[in-house]
């Protein structure tokens, strides 16, 4: 058996042992997410617009990740709507910045890997790089939205009459608790992946100025910064969606009370 199969089986067994049915569901979500990511790559290779593919696949990934984890209906729905809003806002930020930064495609450091490959493939790499940046933050958006909405729904459970204004403050308070550790997840996740590149920079003695303007370096750092922006934005947006949902629920409850 290949290493991936065995590691996958070990992970599945552990997830079921620790989380039971929820664990198995999360594992399934992970596999489906991989399928969606690969599908996105194939669709772009077939000349579908990278941005539209990313938006559609992004929505599906968010829905899968959020609805296949355990959580009550209200917090899952709120988390999904909020993360979808964040995704759209993020696209509006990433598209102009990627066009401005000119970090599309590959850099001189990739030359060895590109040997024997034709790069004139007739697909706009600005859009491909934009798609990459958006896809790499999807997990972080879903996780942050779920954490905030779960925290808020717990507060609502304990204090059902809390005012929507107080709820806004609570959302930010929950956000403050998670932001420090979430940033570290992102920092280590990304830097773990870039370790080889940074070692390259010091090994080949790039100057500070060269690193700051290097295509690959800037593109990777921008990805971390986009992910951080998306997590920061997730906090107020999720809180806001939650207050709207609660306000809507209370209105309906009042109407029913009147009848």
Write out the binding residues for another protein, residues 26-45 only, by CB under 8 A: 26-27, 29-30, 33-34, 37-38, 40-42, 44-45
Using rule CB under 8 A, residue 74 touches another protein: no
In the set 85, 86, 150, 156, which binds another protein (CB under 8 A)? Answer: 150
Residue list 86-105, contact with another protein (CB under 8 A) = 97, 100-105
Residue list 191-230, contact with another protein (CB under 8 A) = 191-193, 195-200, 202-204, 207, 209, 212-215, 218, 221-223, 225-229
Dihedral through CA 129, CA 130, CA 135, CA 141, nearest 10? 140
Paired tokens of 128: 């491909």
DSSP state of 75: H
Residue with tokens 């599309």: 104
Paired tokens of 122: 């007739």
Q: How many CB atoms lie within 10 A of CB 1?
A: 8
Backbone angles phi, psi at 184, to 5 degrees: -70, -35
Using rule CB under 8 A, residue 250 touches another protein: no
Q: How far is the CB of 233 from another protein (least distance, A)?
A: 7
Spatial distance between the Cα atoms of 90 and 227, rounded to a whole number of angstroms: 9
In the set 95, 126, 162, 168, which binds another protein (CB under 8 A)? Answer: 126
Residue with smaller CB distance to another protein, 166 or 253: 166
Q: How far is the CB of 51 from another protein (least distance, A)?
A: 13
């Amino acid at each position: 058996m290949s290493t991936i199969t065995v590691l996958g089986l070990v992970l599945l067994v552990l997830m079921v042992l620790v989380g039971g049915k929820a664990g198995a569901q999360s594992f399934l979500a992970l596999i489906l997410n991989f399928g969606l990511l690969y599908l996105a790559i194939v669709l772009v290779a077939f000349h579908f617009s990278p941005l539209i593919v990313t938006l559609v696949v992004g929505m599906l990934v968010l829905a899968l990740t959020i609805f296949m984890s355990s959580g009550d209906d209200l917090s899952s729905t709120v988390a999904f709507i909020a993360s979808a809003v964040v995704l759209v806002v993020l696209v509006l930020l990433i598209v102009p910045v990627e066009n401005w930064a000119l970090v599309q495609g590959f850099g001189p450091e990739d030359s060895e890997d590109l040997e024997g490959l034709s790069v004139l493939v007739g697909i706009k790499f600005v859009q491909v790089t934009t798609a990459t940046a958006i896809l790499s933050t999807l997990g972080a958006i879903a996780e942050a939205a779920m954490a905030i909405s779960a925290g808020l729904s717990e507060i609502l459970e304990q204090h059902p009459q809390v005012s929507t204004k107080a709820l806004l403050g609570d959302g930010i308070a929950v956000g403050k608790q998670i932001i420090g550790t979430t940033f570290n997840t992102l920092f280590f996740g990304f830097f773990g992946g870039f370790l080889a590149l940074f070692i390259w920079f010091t090994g080949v003695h790039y100057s500070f100025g060269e690193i700051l303007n290097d295509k690959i370096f800037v593109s990777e750092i921008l990805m971390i910064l986009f992910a951080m922006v998306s997590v920061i934005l997730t906090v107020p947006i999720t809180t806001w969606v939650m207050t709207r949902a609660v306000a809507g629920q209370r209105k309906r409850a009042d109407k029913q009370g009147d009848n």
